[in-house]
Amino acid sequence: MDKLPTTLQDAIVFFSDPDNCLNYAVSRRWPNGVCCPTCGSTEVKFLPTRRLWECKNRHPRKQFSFKVGTIFEDSPISLDKWFVAMWMLANCKNGVSSYEIHRAIGVTQKSAWFMLHRIRLAMETGSFKKFAKTCEVDETFVGGKSKNMHAKVRARRITGSGGKDKTIVMGILERGGEVRATVVEKRSRKELQAHIMQNVKAGARVYTDALPSYDRLHGLYMHEAIDHAVEYVRGNVHVNGMENFWSLLKRGLKGTYVAVDPEHLNRYVVEQVFRFNNRKDLNDGGRFNLAMKQVEGKRLTYAELTGKTDTVRH
């Protein structure tokens, strides 16, 4: 295999060769050798004329491709186009819209939108390891500004003040480490503190704002709060790291994606978390490589994604 790409231009040239595409993909999914996704057997034979493998055991779906059991399954779009789309999403700081992917790789906007959501699924990472260092905890509201809406739309969508009718995203940042963020239903003490206890080790230092929902953390954590009505920084007590993450997230949502359905927001959060957590240690090729290693076992159908609706999205 030729030298691995480190830039988008390198990636386009490199993955234009079908052999490079397949070899790269196989080495990431099956680093110890190809195995049957149905029975797990390594007794498989490659069929070069069809770029498929055939398992020697007798069972349904003996023949399989690299795409089976991954985010690419049942997609007629070639791997070279998939890989360029994944490269762009993994490395564009403010995200990349489905219209841009549609123009760049020559697929329909609807297909590009579906592809990007499947790639976001591959970017999801889960960890049972809890943060042990100093953590910042904060939440933000995501939703259109009423001043930018048409009067009829404003009347339909805005039924209260402040964050009412907006989606809440909660985040936990370990200083010097990674961030974890997710959509939550409400800012209740029960819900927010459950996320903290799930992700932060007891006894760790936790900084929050003065939201009453963070009261009663003192028994489990070294908790200090900053009241933003009075000050934003008090020595080391602040949540500016999380505020930085929120600014990056909203820059992409407002500038690149423009309008995001609340039901899909969590995947856009996952996308930003992926880039944020890998911004220092990995270059463009490294981030793409990491995403490629996570494509297996993550299936998302169009019906699951849309609820069988067929509307244009960004």
Question: For residue range 91-122, what is the model confidence (pLDDT) as tens digits?
Answer: 999 999 999 999 999 999 999 999 999 999 99
CA-based angle 171:194:179, to the nearest 5? 20
Non-local (6+) Cβ contacts of 147 within 8 A are: none
Question: For residue range 264-273, what is the model confidence (pLDDT) as tens digits?
Answer: 999 999 999 9
User: Which H helix or E strand runs over 104?
Assistant: helix 98-105
Selection from 233, 229, 198 nearest residue 211 by Cα: 229
Residue 113's pLDDT is 97
pLDDT, average across residues 162-167:
71
- Domains of the chain, each with CATH number or no CATH: 135-260 (3.30.420)
Give the number of other Cβ atoms within 10 Å of residue 33's Cβ: 8
35 vs 246: CA distance, rounded Å: 42
Give the number of other Cβ atoms within 10 Å of residue 262's Cβ: 13
Residue 41's pLDDT is 95
Residue 164's pLDDT is 63
Q: Would you place residue 149 in the very low, low, confident or very high pLDDT band (cuts 50, 70, 90)?
A: very low
Name the strands in the sheet holding 44-47, side by side, starting at the edge strand that comes first in the sequence: 44-47, 52-55, 63-64
Residue 308's pLDDT is 66
pTM strictly above 0.85:
yes
Name the strands in the sheet holding 205-209, side by side, starting at the edge strand that comes first in the sequence: 179-184, 167-174, 135-142, 205-209, 222-226
Question: For residue range 44-88, what is the model confidence (pLDDT) as tens digits?
Answer: 999 999 999 999 999 999 999 999 999 999 999 999 999 999 999
DSSP for 260-309?
A: --GGGHHHHHHHHHHHHHTTTT--HHHHHHHHHTT-BT----HHHHHTT-
Non-local (6+) Cβ contacts of 140 within 8 A are: 168, 169, 171, 246, 249, 250
